[in-house]
Amino acid sequence: MAKKASKSVQRNNAQMRVTVYYGYALFLLTVVGLLLTLVPWFQLIAVTNDTRTVSDFSVVMLLVSFAFTALAPPLIGYLAGDSATRTKSKIVHHFNGVLFGVLGVWLWFLATMLVGYAQQWLSAHNNFEQVLLNLAPASIAALVTIALGVFYARHTKHQIALIDYKPYQVLLISVAILSVLVTGAAGALSAQTGGEFMTLALTYIIVPSLFTLVATLVGYWVLGKKGGNAWERVVRSLIAVGFAVIALTIVTQFAAYIGWMQDFIFLCVCVIVIGVWLSYLLLMRRALKG
């Protein structure tokens, strides 16, 4: 019995390490990609002649906006998850932090779509208002993850693993579904009525829906019964999709900085994003089997 319990603990720690390693690696690459993106803006600040049409204040505000948008959702989510965990196990702290970070990325994606759609009626009148609109999605994601972290810390007494925590499961799945629906609605409503509207409606609704559904179902199947109950398997699948979304933003940042050819960029994006998503699922399946 003791050996069986020990093996179960080792298997649980192994699957947590896989998630932690992927989360840490992707966050580090996000920081590197952000620095590469900001290089041209730092160079613009360094220009001292009078021919510039952009003020230093505007550039600095844009830098703050870029940095906050890129780092706040995963970082604040991670800190919320880590702070809400009271166990002495460091791996559990890191694991919960990464899970909250992934939720923060999903929330940021949904809020970005909502804010982008709302800008059709709430357009910015100056640079400061534009910066506030740019900061809004990351701020919303940060506030929601902090609120969930506080609720988790106060109401569970840490007797429930975060991966099994129903509010976390429901929120992650709901945000993923809403992200698909909002993406479709925003794309369709941005078009004119008529034939173009129907075409774009089908494209923006069906394509994201199929991608998310297929990725989640494949992940559900790859994880197998060792992935836990139905809720846990869906959550793990969505975590893999969240890692893929992060990888997508990283690859596009690097591609824009390096200046690759468009066809080559598309090929690299597909290979790297699918590679991150599938490799995480396969390693997670292996870790869960022990």
Nearest to 77 by CA among 175, 220, 181: 175
Opening angle at CA 225, ends 10 and 172, nearest 5: 85
Query: What are the start-end ranges of the H helices in 126-260?
Result: 127-155, 166-189, 195-223, 230-258
| Distance, CA of 130 to CA of 66 (rounded, Å) | 12
Residues 261-267 have a mean pLDDT of 68
> How many other C-beta atoms are found inside a 10 Å radius of the C-beta of residue 253?
19
| Distance, CA of 114 to CA of 182 (rounded, Å) | 7
Structural contact between residues 20 and 94, judged by C-beta atoms closer than 8 angstroms? yes
- CA distances for 101 relative to 41, 54, 248, angstroms: 27, 34, 16
**pLDDT value, residue 194:** 46
Least confident of 32-36, 60-64, 102-106: 60-64
- 14-57 pLDDT, tens digit each: 889 999 999 999 999 888 888 877 776 666 565 545 555 555 56
Q: Quick one: CA dihedral 80, 83, 87, 91, positive or negative?
A: positive
With a threshold of 0.75, does the pTM exceed it? yes
